[in-house]
Amino acid sequence: MKRAARSLWLAALLAATQAHADEMVSAEAGVLRWLDKLTGQTEDVELGRGESATWGRLSIQMDDCRYPKGNPASDAIAHLTIRDSEVEAPVFSGWMVASSPALSALDHPRYDVWVLSCVYPESEAPPEAPPEDPEGAEEPAQTNEG
């Protein structure tokens, strides 16, 4: 019951956020991080839309990954379906928000999974800052006054 209420609340929050935010664009892939709480091992994995990966007892499918069109690096939301090989029903199916991982989290005694980012085309990447001059700013040109 709590999970259904939380899912409805998250759906309403995402709808309200998207109405006031930039248009969301689906990415071809997303980057996730998972943690085995027992061993402390972590791993980052890039999954394309519809792809799945298995780690330990978990099988994670990336259903969709979206990012704001106007600022791709600012946030990501991903729809995931996570299954545990020892449980018949999915242990998680819904949206995870990269900037607020606790908002809609996997509730599992051994594993943790969260979204890091979406993979977006280079043409939409934010501009890089110009490299800094390692020797400092150039000295002003000297003039001969005379």
Buried b (16+ CB within 10 A) or exposed e, 13-24: ebeeeeeeeeeb
Give me the number of domains the chain comprises: 1
Interval 100-120: pLDDT, tens: 888 888 989 999 999 999 998
Q: pLDDT confidence of 20, banded at 50, 70, 90? A: very low
Q: Is 19 a member of any domain?
A: no
For 129-146, what is each residue's pLDDT tens digit? Answer: 455 655 555 554 555 555
In a domain, 12, yes or no: no
Flag whether 85 is in a domain.
yes
Between CA 6 and CA 123 the distance in angstroms is 36
| Residue owning tokens 């979406």 | 118
- Which residue range is the domain that position 95 belongs to? 25-122
Q: Is the pLDDT of residue 27 over 90?
A: yes
Q: What is the pLDDT of residues 57-102, one digit of tens each?
A: 999 999 999 999 888 888 899 999 999 999 999 999 999 999 988 8
Does position 42 have pLDDT exceeding 80, yes or no? yes
One-character DSSP codes across 29-49: EEEEEEEETTT--EEEEEEET
Please, are residues 55 and 33 in contact by the beta-carbon 8 Å criterion?
Answer: no
Answer yes or no: is 65 within a domain: yes
CB atoms < 10 A from the CB of 105, how many?
16
